Structure 1
Amino acid sequence: MTTSVIRFGHDVATDAELRLCGDIGDGKRALELGISREQNALAFAAAGARSIAVDPDADKIDAVRAAAAEAEVTVQGIVSELADLGAISSASLDLVVANRTLTDVDDLGRLLRQVHRVMRSGRPFVITVPHPFAGVYTTDELGSKVHPYGSGSRTIGDWFIHLIRANFRVDQILELGVSDISPVPTTLILRAVKEGD
């Protein structure tokens, strides 16, 4: 069953609790940038948004289209690299969500400039990634230092710099996933708002 709840991963609070995405009903346009396990494009459509999903994997696009047909909602699927958003009009989107889909992007600056181009001013871009500190190990079994902060993924500072350079303002940062199992956060969620035109 498809719900209108936007999800950010297993054991992570939903947008119903975090309230990062805002109202997307009444035909507002929302983009899932890279199709996640949660298939948030379906949630956008169920909430009344004009939903778009972009992913380089045609099988993922086919799967989200099939799930949308089964749920009797509409999702526009575009097979494209994440930074190639030429099929989307400038200043046309009210929400972009990238749920654990940006970690392997080589040219993050280019991708963020494209996202900035397609978004309406003042609207949110919500990014979820594995928390960069979750992969830090200070010593291995021989006592050697391994995986220092920033060696395996972008740091929080890297995300801020890239977003600021692309003319986004980060207005929320959530570090989630601390538990009895993990003494450090496992999930980083950034909400950035498009500034300018």
Structure 2
Amino acid sequence: MPAAGVLRGVGPLRQDDPVPIDTADSWDRYAAAYQEAARWPATVVHYGPDLPTEDDLRLLGDLKAKRVLDLGCGGGQNAVVMARAGATVIGVDLSVEQLAHARELAAEREVRVELRQGDLADLAYLRADSIDLAFAADAFGYVEDLGRVFRQVHRVLKVGAPLVFSLPHPSWYLVGGGTADPLTVRRSYFDRSAVVRSVGDAQLTEYPHHLAELLTGLVRASYRVDQVVEPEPPVGVPRSGLWDEAATRVPRMLIVRARKEGS
């Protein structure tokens, strides 16, 4: 199994081509292989595979006594790091298996993390203006309607509090996905159709989000963008099992920090 997954359907998917839906079941089946390939250390907040970490980027600020919402928390590595830094962390994920890993990790590291299984936009259990930081590492690429997530997160954030997230860079879909030649363009930048990746016996649906869509969605949901990062992979460090050589030519991830405005 190629660690980065196999890209299927580089153009618009045909009507007669069954479109696998990115469900909790898909992530449940992929969770163990993903954790093994990614090898996330629970020592520093990460933003995605083979990227600079929070120690390098400094986007989150002091976490002590902060109430943090970790959207798409996965195996819980970031949630554990933030909890150990003094934050009260609520982790949300679709996958029961990913959350099981997070629960075990939190117990092993002797920290308390509140874990909830559900959709990233279903935040009715949180009071308005109660969150100091919302964070999402490589989770929003699996969300089709990001505007809904932005609006729901806006409701629970305190005024001026940041939403910090990473997701696949829109240019990544042109070349990424395990190609032998990192300069081969496999897909039009203007193609808005979903991308299906086969990983083992699971199939995950990703939704490319272009810069104009992201920035317009944030502005409409009353955020002010104050940081955009297109990180290069660090030099001279071991690569994860999710490494793709195309990342040396095209940014793999886009990182955005936006702050809540209004009420």
Asked if 1:10 is matched to 2:46, the reply is no
C-alpha contact 1:36 1:100 (8 A) present in aligned 2:
no
Show the 5 A alignment for 1:14-163.
14-25=53-64, 27-36=65-74, 39-136=77-174, 147-151=187-191, 153-163=208-218
CA distance in 1, matches of 2:146, 2:49: 25
CA distance in structure 2 between the partners assigned to 1:9 and 1:65 by the alignment: 21
Render the CA deviation track for 1:12-47: whole Å, top value 9, x for unaligned: 11112211111111x210111002457211111010
Indicate conservation of the 8 Å contact 1:36/1:99, yes or no.
Answer: no
Count of residue correspondences: 189
Calculate the aligned-residue CA RMSD, in Å.
2.1
The whole-number CA distance in structure 2 between the counterparts of 1:179 and 1:185 is 12
2:218 partner letter: L
Identity of aligned residues (%): 40
Matches of 1:178 and 1:64, distance apart in 2:
26
Per-residue Cα deviation, 1:135-187 (whole angstroms, up to 9, x for no partner):
225xxxxxxx8521142511111110111111111111011236894222111
Compute the displacement of 1:80 (Å).
1.2
Check 1:34–1:65 CA distance in 2 against 1; reply closer, same or farther (3 A cut): same
Asked whether the equivalents of residues 132 and 150 of structure 1 are also in contact (C-alpha less than 8 Å), the reply is: no
Q: Using the alignment, how far apart are the partners of 1:179 and 1:150 within structure 2? A: 29
* 1:166 lines up with 2:221 in the alignment: yes
Q: Secondary structure at the match of 1:171?
A: strand
Shift of 1:106: 2.1
CA apart distance, 1:73: 0.3
| Alpha-carbon contact 2:168-2:253 (below 8 Å) kept | yes
Q: In the alignment, is the contact (CA less than 8 A) between 1:8 and 1:38 conserved in 2? A: no
Using the alignment, how far apart are the partners of 1:62 and 1:187 within structure 2? 26
Structure 1's unaligned 5+ residue stretches are: 138-144
Task: For residue 103 of structure 1, report the CA deviation from its aligned partner.
Answer: 0.9
Unpaired runs of 5+ residues, structure 2, are 1-40, 176-184, 193-207, 236-244
Alignment partners' CA distance in 2, 1:28 and 1:120: 11
CA contact (8 A) 2:47 2:166 kept: yes
How far apart, in 1, do the equivalents of 2:102 and 2:233 lie? 31
Matches of 2:126 and 2:95, distance apart in 1: 18
Structure 2 distance, partners of 1:178, 1:11, is: 6
**2:140–2:167 contact (8 Å) kept in structure 1:** yes
Query: Separation in 2 of the partners of 1:36 and 1:130?
Result: 16
1:195 corresponds in structure 2 to 261
Structure 1 counterpart SS, 2:114? strand
1:79 and 1:189 mapped to 2: Cα distance? 25
Name segments (4+ residues, structure 1) moved above 3 Å. 178-181
CA contact (8 A) 1:175 1:188 kept: yes
Higher relative contact order (CA 8 A, sep 6+): 2
Residue 191 of structure 1 aligns with an amino acid whose one-letter code is R
**TM-score normalised over the length of structure 1:** 0.88
